[in-house]
Amino acid sequence: MALVMAGLGLAARADKPMRTFSLLVLVVFSVGAIVSQWASLKAGFFEVGLAVITFNVLSLALGYCLARAVCNRRSAIAIAFELGVRSAVLSIYVALTTLQDNRIALPAAVYSVTMVLLALSFGSVMRHLHKSAGPEIRVRAGA
């Protein structure tokens, strides 16, 4: 039992540093891929930009609306973020290393740039709507 409690304590203390570390890894890989392919990214944005942005906006909106039908607001926002922010870094890595094709990495690179901006915008809108809607009523089990 003491080992379980120690493990839980370690997990709780490691939570924030691990989240920070994973975000840092995501940023480093994204920036590295974008910088190395900047010319292709600029040229290709006009090719795939509209489709990528449309896909991301629809993912955020549909994810939120469908989840909201069965979940509370906070859970629906989390689900929308999960659908809107995907593993673009992994897509870029696979395209550049395994497939060795810069053109295949282009949509993922454009997505990694636009998803951050769109997810931040979505989060701001949800925060604003949440403040103006007032607190959500929570039902306690057994009440």
pLDDT-derived band of residue 139, with 50, 70 and 90 as boundaries? very low
Query: What does the DSSP 8-state code read for residue 55?
Result: H
Query: What does the DSSP 8-state code read for residue 143?
Result: -
Q: How many CB atoms lie within 10 A of CB 48?
A: 18
Using CA atoms, how far apart are residues 14 and 16, in angstroms rounded to an integer?
Answer: 6
Q: Are 92 and 105 in contact (CB under 8 A)?
A: yes
Q: Are 131 and 123 in contact (CB under 8 A)?
A: no
What are the Cα distances from residue 73, in Å, to 58, 117, 127, 129? 18, 21, 11, 11
Q: Identify the H or E element spanning 108.
A: helix 102-133
- What pLDDT digit, counting tens, does each position of 32-82 carry? 877 887 787 787 788 888 888 898 888 889 989 999 999 998 898 888 888
87: pLDDT strictly greater than 70 = no
What are the Cα distances from residue 43, in Å, to 12, 48, 84, 106, 110? 45, 10, 24, 10, 11
Task: Using a pLDDT cut of 90, give the percent of the chain over it.
Answer: 6
